[in-house]
Amino acid sequence: MTITLVATESVDRPTFIDRLLPVLPVAQRLAFAMLQNSHDAEDAVQDAALKAWKAMARLREGSELRPWFLTIVANECRQRRRNRWWSVSKVSDLPNQPGSRPDGGEVAEDLRAALRRLPMEMRLVLVLRYYLDLRFEEMGRVLRCSAKAAKSRTFRALQRLRVEVPEELKE
């Protein structure tokens, strides 16, 4: 048997996991806000983690893991939104999701419905800014754009939301 002795990728899995674990809570929040389904959110983050591990070799030294991973999570959420199973069976699951139930008021429901009508990119921008409290600089790293562009996108998303729920945002 011709033997080649090499170190496997698994040598560095613990390192990767150690770096990833602190980011998981915010990643899970992002996925939950985007998908509004706790199971889908967990699956999205888990799949994103596997993709991140696959692509980890390309994360340059000194680059921040958090915005890089959040980009992957956001992309995974986009893909799941396109996935027929998600769109058919999961959107309506929102009221029965475990965890802290969203506010049940009519206004809040209007806001949730409006968010669902927004394009994914706009919804992502609002979630990053108002649900995860990211600064525009970090939003830019997640969205692969400048901080100025992130701010501009946020403004446009808010404008669109005002069209969807004008009374909500005028109060």
Partner 1 sequence: MNEEQFRKRFREALGTAPVSDLSRRIEAALSPPPPRRRRLALGSIAATLALVLVGAFAGWRLIGQHARPASVKALPTHIAPTPAAAASNVALPVCRMPVIVSLDSGPPAQLQTGPGFINTGTGQYTPDSSASVTGLPGGAVIGNNLKPNSSRSAAPTFYSENLRRWLPVDARSVSPDGASYVWERLLPEGSNNLNFARSELHRYDVATSTDRILWTYAGSIDVVRWDASGVLVETVPPNGGALITWLVNPPTSTAAQQASGFEARGGLTQLPGDPLQNGGFAYGNVPYAEFDGHQIYRIGSREPGTPEIVAYETAPGQRVTIYRGSQGDATTFDPMSGVGDAAGIWFTDYAGRVLWRWQPSTGLHKIALSGLPNSGPNWSIYETSAGACLPLR
Q: How far is the CB of 30 from partner 1 (least distance, A)?
A: 9
Q: How far is the CB of 31 from partner 1 (least distance, A)?
A: 8
Nearer to partner 1, 9 or 148 (CB): 9
Nearer to partner 1, 144 or 148 (CB): 144
Q: How far is the CB of 55 from partner 1 (least distance, A)?
A: 5
Report the Cα–Cα distance between both ends of the chain, in Å, rounded.
Answer: 75
DSSP string spanning 40-77? HHHHHHHHHHHHHHHHGGGS-TT--HHHHHHHHHHHHH
What angle separates helix 147-164 from helix 136-143, to the nearest 10 degrees? Answer: 90
Nearer to partner 1, 56 or 150 (CB): 56
Lookup: tokens for 88: 């058919």
